[in-house]
Chain A
């Protein structure tokens, strides 16, 4: 199976409480907290779509949207 390619980090700013868990545990250092303490993807080009931020977010505020090889938006789910 081809590696999933990131399309976007969908971050719900209303739900994010700025705990920094996603920032600390991102293996590629993609995320940071902005001046309002909300998570933002500052280096999306480095993202490997491992979805650890999405899985660890206590506020359920992050969603990783990937593209499949045909460029169609596809939400991958763990184990599939």
Chain B
């Protein structure tokens, strides 16, 4: 199928700003789904609130646009009732790790078969550029005009510690890797977390004088390196890209099915 066959064309051009990385994530997501050869009816996309969460409105899958930070809770309900469906949850960094931080760590702990795509643009874009849990120490935001003093989470370490069984990171510059990692995250049976470093030229870029979308993407190209590269040994500041965790562990819905079977067997 062509890319447009996966879109709700009536909502295009989309609302995202010129050069917004969320469009690149949408682009890669559709190509990953196309490669997997999945039917649109097999996919449920559940999102919360924020620029990134608008992604679910643009794809012609089953979609739910829910409340801020709680997308994973809704997604858990969908997955538990229809485990045969593939559930994908696109989230912003604030939606996933601040407002929805608890849902995030507990979905990871349960290892429920959901694919969480954390689109990390380091800012709350939709509401006017407030600093987010991934803005980072020393950055500028509308709510941090004298610089941000909050340290940021490391999404990969957080997801790993919480128990996610697939954890990866890439950027919107590395589109081929992005498509491949989305594909692998969807295929993985268990809770998958993919952090995508993405650009918000309108707020994060402008506030921090990082230039436009092109300059921000060039920065992500330079600031990242494949996991375990020699460049990382020389320069520990570099951010690693790739798959950090990929392991098998009992999946929540299959375990729940076993509970049902046990209860049915003993309850007669």
Instruction: Determine which of B2, B24, B34 lies in contact with A56 in the assembled complex, contact meaning CB atoms within 8 Å.
Output: B24
A60 adjacent to B7 (CB under 8 Å): yes
Residue of A nearest to B214 (CB): A24
Q: Does A75 contact B (CB under 8 A)?
A: yes
Known contacts A20-B213, A77-B34; A60 and B176 CB within 8 A of each other: no
Interface segment among A1-9, A11-19, A41-49, A66-74: the answer is A11-19
B12 in contact with A15 (CB, 8 Å): yes
B22 at the A interface (CB under 8 A): yes
Question: Which bracket fits the contact residues of A?
Answer: 20 to 34
Count residues of chain B with CB under 8 A from any CB of chain A. Answer: 34
Is the CB of B264 closer than 8 A to any CB of chain A?
no
A34 at the interface (CB under 8 A from B): no
Binary A-proximity of B1-40 (CB < 8 A = 1, otherwise 0)? 0111001000011101111111110111011001100000
In the complex the two chains form, is B31's CB within 8 Å of A78's CB? yes
Q: Smallest CB-CB separation from A19: which chain B residue?
A: B19
* Pair B212/A19 contact, Cβ less than 8 Å: yes
Contact yes or no, A59 B2, CB < 8 A = no
Is residue B175 contacting chain A, with contact meaning CB distance below 8 A? yes
Bound complex: CA A79 to CA B24 (Å): 18
Q: CB-CB contacts of A17-59 with B at 8 A, as 1s and 0s?
A: 1111100110000000000000000000000000010011111
Cβ 8 A contact of A21, one of B7, B14, B176, B217:
B217
* Contact residues in A for B31 (Cβ distance below 8 Å): 55, 77-78
Docked CA distance A59–B12 (Å): 9
In the complex the two chains form, what is the Cα distance from A58 to B198 in whole Å? 11
Inter-chain contacts of B22 with A (CB < 8 A): 58
B24 with A63: CB separation less than 8 A: no
**Can you name 17 extra interface pairs (CB under 8 A) apart from A21-B214, A59-B23?**
A15-B12, A19-B212, A24-B214, A24-B217, A55-B28, A56-B173, A56-B175, A57-B27, A58-B18, A58-B21, A58-B22, A58-B23, A58-B26, A58-B213, A60-B30, A63-B2, A77-B31
**Residues of B bordering A, CB below 8 Å:** 2-4, 7, 12-14, 16-24, 26-28, 30-31, 34-35, 172-173, 175-176, 179, 201, 212-214, 217-218
